[in-house]
Copies of this chain bind each other. A is one copy, B any other.
């Protein structure tokens, strides 16, 4: 008797009388994490900021008050609350208090100019704007650019540690909290697909796009961080990574679930970083390679003795192998991750293999500079030909575009169905990043689609060339872009910042590259200069491309 004969397909007892109900189905949301941690560890320190300490119970109460006050002012599902602040307690609280009101948090990049901020506030339809005094000037200008009926309620975060800046708002954050009921019965999201956050890309061309996160993805990437980093209980987490950057890679929610301590950091500079690590027993931090640069290159008078074994996640650009080497020699344990605003921050990790420990330092750094494999909470990661949508061979050489799918991929771009459809075309998220798949299944980025150099028909990865430049002892920073060339179409042009007190000639730099790279990949031109950067610290290659064209 065959299976089909015995079990007509209509017979599936597992689908009968076994429905969702209030007891067995609750929307996934990271708000659950703070509720639990405040209940279980009410007296543990949640937040350190200067001399200020607040427990999880106190922090939770402030989040609930914020939610209550927002709700009393009519803010609810579908409404946006923006926050303009460095990594201070109020920014952390907004990650819980705003969604507890059912609203959507829009964390603004504090390095943006008034025009960009005005665009975002207008496009995101912020109803309330929590703003730190340090940014009163630019925020005041930005709000004045909005049509009067589209201006948000401005609330000043009056942090005593903020240098300068007037109060510009209708009330202070503390006054807003005072309006709130600490016993407010905040609501879980009605659906885990409900939006929790709005993050604008720092697009270098055109208007920024508003990336929408949902509660489900925030919950899952928060747990993905736990599993990927094998986080201990009660990590002491230093806020070197901006909370406005992919919601701090979801770490406000990760620190909450592990009942850790948030060490706030208003000023991202070598002195405060070393002080925080030494004074508070920091165990974990995240940041772009620029943070590693701050730590590695700190002047002697800013350095402090710090515990060995601090764990750091880095991403944002392939970290130069030389920087990884230096950090590891200093005793930091570096985990290299990769992601984008559209995927809640990191979703791939260069998962380490113990037998790689036996490799020489340079090989270890080369292995670690790869972007690696998917987080356990990402479902699909592929390098494909973007036209045929077929995977490139896993040969470590054939370039393709990196694609992702899973529950930590955004809902889409706000009010931009065309960009959303393009980003998801073919059922995968198109990262726009170019890379290769190695035989061991690890991806390695080679470039942004728009950054690749094509010289004599050959693709040149600017990241590869930059990696070699960074290994030169005199080079502090380097960026490579295409320079138009009659014969070759394009040739690599290197912009280099030398270390203080160091010298090098263009010929030396080119010679160094020829020793380490195929000749066609080597810069034809070397310009010594300081590098233009975006508000998030990314090098502005479009500026350099203009300069290279004009040479």
Contact = CB atoms under 8 A, between A and B. Distances in A.
A13 B103 CA distance: 12
A32 B376 CA distance: 8
A405 B23 contact: yes
Q: For the complex, would chain A's binding face be called helix, strand, loop or mixed by DSSP majority?
A: loop
A376 B1 contact: no
A20 interface: yes
A36 B351 CA distance: 11
Nearest to A79: B7
B14 A414 contact: yes
A40 B405 contact: no
A487 interface: no
A78 B15 CA distance: 8
Given A14-B194, A17-B420, A78-B15, A429 B376 contact: no
Contact of A13 (B41, B414, B427, B429): B414
A24 B74 contact: no
A353 interface: yes
How many copies make up the complex? 2
A415 to B, nearest CB: 6
A410 B2 CA distance: 31
A258 interface: yes
Given A13-B125, A149-B6, A424 B376 contact: no
A11 B404 CA distance: 31
Interface stretch (A222-230, A240-248, A313-321, A462-470): A222-230
Q: Which of A13, A78, A404 has most chain B Cβ within 10 Å? A: A13
A127 B40 contact: no
Contacts of A13: 78, 125, 414-415
A104 interface: yes
A411 interface: yes
A233 B376 CA distance: 12
Interface in A362-385: 373-374, 376, 379-380
A415 B13 CA distance: 7
A399 interface: no
B376 A39 contact: no
Which 5 A-B residue pairings sit nearest by Cβ, starting from the closest?
A3-B74, A12-B78, A22-B427, A14-B195, A18-B411
Contact of A127 (B6, B18, B23, B33): B6
Nearest to A420: B17
A272 interface: no
Contacts of A410: 24
A138 to B, nearest CB: 24
A359 interface: no
A4 interface: yes
Given A23-B428, A441-B40, A412 B376 contact: no
20 contacts: A2-B74, A4-B74, A7-B78, A7-B79, A14-B78, A14-B194, A14-B212, A23-B409, A24-B217, A24-B407, A24-B411, A25-B407, A26-B380, A36-B376, A40-B373, A41-B351, A223-B226, A226-B226, A227-B258, A257-B376
Given A223-B223, A226-B226, A417 B17 contact: yes
Contacts of A417: 17
Contact of A406 (B18, B26, B374, B409): B26
A153 to B, nearest CB: 9
A61 to B, nearest CB: 15
Contacts of A232: 230
